[in-house]
Amino acid sequence: MSGILDSIIINAGAEYTALDFFTHPASVQGIPVSKFTAPGSDTDSSVVSRDSTTTRAFYSIGSVPSRIPGTRDIKGFFSLLSGLAWSFNLTSPRTYRGNLINYPDDGRHYLAFDEYVSNQLFPLPPQLGRNMEYTYEDYQMYFTLYLGYYEGKNVNFGLGPIYGLAVYRMDIIEREQRISSVKNQLQELKGLRLLFEYNIGQYFPDTILYNAYVFLEITSFGDLDGKGLNIRNQVATANGLPAPSLYMNMTTYRMGVRKEIQLSKEPHKKEEGPAYPPLRNLPSAGLPPKEDTKTDTENPG
């Protein structure tokens, strides 16, 4: 496999994900409605999810940050390009479960405009309001462009935006009935990544961990423009009207150890000087040395 795949990178660690669903509140004559009694509400968005922090095991194929070819030795005005690096990731599907509270409303019917406004301003508390379960599953494919990447002797640090795609499905269940089910939806991914690596292999130079790094990786999707990732659904309001859009923010914290495993045999190092000491009085073609031949001639028999 030499020349095709000389080594692979293995990551082992733990992942913690904060998954939040929220909506942009309805507006009255162009003015967003602020919910006075709902915790975490503001004029821009209202968080409708509960129990958002989860731990999930998953598989991931990716690459370590690599310099963009041709930029490492650039000098002068364009020397900033030498700090650029990139990497890619492909994750296995992960499933998240949780509850949606008072989405898209608290379940109360309204007949007049003033009742609608009153329900928006003073929703029922979560214990009395509308409560739905959701199941969200996706797998992601994305690239990271590190606009600033520092590669030191024992410390690596990178920061940059993420762009990619996700294929997801989402089911919403209310009172043991599935009221929304979307499958194989394509979602554009935008986010930001922070990476920190420290070489612990320096303390184990004569072991298999000689090139191991401990890493901390923080990845956030949906925070670049403040709008989150638009998630398609088929939920209706209590009066049967279309529900406002559901958005999602996902922040992942990963901690673990990265280790490179060599797949092909390392080339032998070229040693200085001859491989063997020079030989003296080496017989040629089985003939004895000259001094021995002379002695035998003088004393025959």
Q: How far is CA 167 from each of CA 16, 55, 219, rounded to the nearest angstrom?
A: 20, 20, 18
CA distance 26 to 44: 10
Higher pLDDT, 71 or 141: 141
Query: Quick check: 100 pLDDT over 90?
Result: yes
Range of lowest pLDDT (27-41, 83-97, 134-148, 274-288): 274-288
CA distance 142 to 71: 22
pLDDT in tens, 136-156: 999 999 999 999 888 888 999
**pLDDT computed for residue 288 by the predictor:** 59
**pLDDT computed for residue 60 by the predictor:** 81
Residue 95's beta-bridge partner residues?
137
Residue 191's beta-bridge partner residues?
162, 221
**pLDDT computed for residue 23 by the predictor:** 87
pTM score of the predicted model = 0.75
Do residues 171 and 134 make contact, with C-beta atoms less than 8 angstroms apart?
yes
Q: How confident is the model at residue 1 (pLDDT cuts 50, 70, 90)?
A: very low
pLDDT in tens, 165-215: 999 999 999 999 999 999 999 999 999 999 999 999 999 888 888 889 999
